[in-house]
Amino acid sequence: MTDDVDTLIHDFFKGVAKISIAVSGTPLENIKQVGYAVPNFYTKANLLVHLLQDSEVYHKVLVFVSNKRGADLLFKELSEFFSGEICIIHSNKTQNYRLRSIQQFDSGKNRILVTTDVMARGLDLTEISHVINFDVPRYPENYMHRIGRTGRAEKEGTSLLLFTDKELEAKDAIENLMDHQIEVLELPSEVEVATQLTYDERPKHVERENPLKINEEERGSGLHEKSEKNKKVNQGGSYRRIMEKKYKKPKTRGDKNYGKRRKK
């Protein structure tokens, strides 16, 4: 229940009663929560490759990415190392593809599932050892739904949160909601810090001198005085004017009986 939905309900409904099964934002005691501070997307991918090499510890892993484009890019990067162990789900995939991926992941055929928040709730998948938040969710409540996929049926689970400097504010919002500090671990020395950036991470070029912002006098008016040629008034065409002058009234081309009518 987000604040926006709560406000909407109270604005449009009368006699609203709220029944809470569990207090929102309460961290589950059987889920170990840790985080890694990383500079960019490809360093996050390198960290995942390093961690997922240990298939005994990371035996059933759910990786959450914030959007479909990021999920596809991460799936491509991880497939180079875990091609027979990884599958992907997001809203652009067909229903049959999604159902097949869920079945393969749930049965253990694939141990790594990359997905968006489409998998954050509503599915009961068992024996998930780790939930990896590749991106920090925009809404802290979504973090709670994500990590709730592990640590089920009184079993222990682990949640990893990978965050950049730009995601620190969202991480703080999650910790404030849970009233719990996520333990931050050191980035393993074996993990290469990537210099390559994704399109969204690259700095955007902004022109220092924008010609549209100079004043009207320097730029000149968009309405210019008409040239002599364009000042002429349309008089109906040269043929019409000649006929009017010669016969005092316009004569239409092709009128063979025009002269006969005048003789009568």
pLDDT in tens, 213-237: 555 555 555 555 666 666 666 666 6
Q: Is 261 inside a domain boundary?
A: no
For β-strands 112-115 and 86-89, DSSP reports them as parallel
Q: In which domain, by residue range, is 124 found?
A: 30-185
Do the domain assignments include residue 46?
Answer: yes
Q: Is 218 within a domain?
A: no
User: First and final CA of the chain: distance in angstroms?
Assistant: 95
Q: Please indicate, yes or no, if residue 13 is contained in any of the structural domains.
A: no
Question: Shortest CA distance to 184 belongs to which of 160, 167, 166, 157?
Answer: 160
1-59 pLDDT, tens digit per residue, is 677 888 888 889 988 888 765 544 445 788 999 999 999 999 999 999 999 999 999 99
pLDDT at res. 25: 45
* Within a domain: 113: yes
Mapped onto helix, strand or coil, the DSSP state of residue 128 is: coil
Is residue 8 one of the residues assigned to a domain?
no
Question: What's the gap between Cα 215 and its chain centre?
Answer: 37
CATH code of 108's domain = 3.40.50.300
pTM of the complete model beyond 0.85: no
241 lies in a domain? Answer: no
Q: Other CB atoms closer than 10 Å to residue 193's CB: what's the count?
A: 12
pLDDT of residue 143: 92
- Number of C-beta neighbours around residue 111 at 10 A: 19
Ranges 40-49, 85-94, 174-183, 255-264: which has the least confidence:
255-264
Tokens for 250?
A: 């316009």
- List beta partners, residue 115: 64, 89
Q: Is residue 7 part of a domain?
A: no
Total number of domains constituting the chain: 1
Name the least confident of 41-55, 120-134, 241-255.
241-255
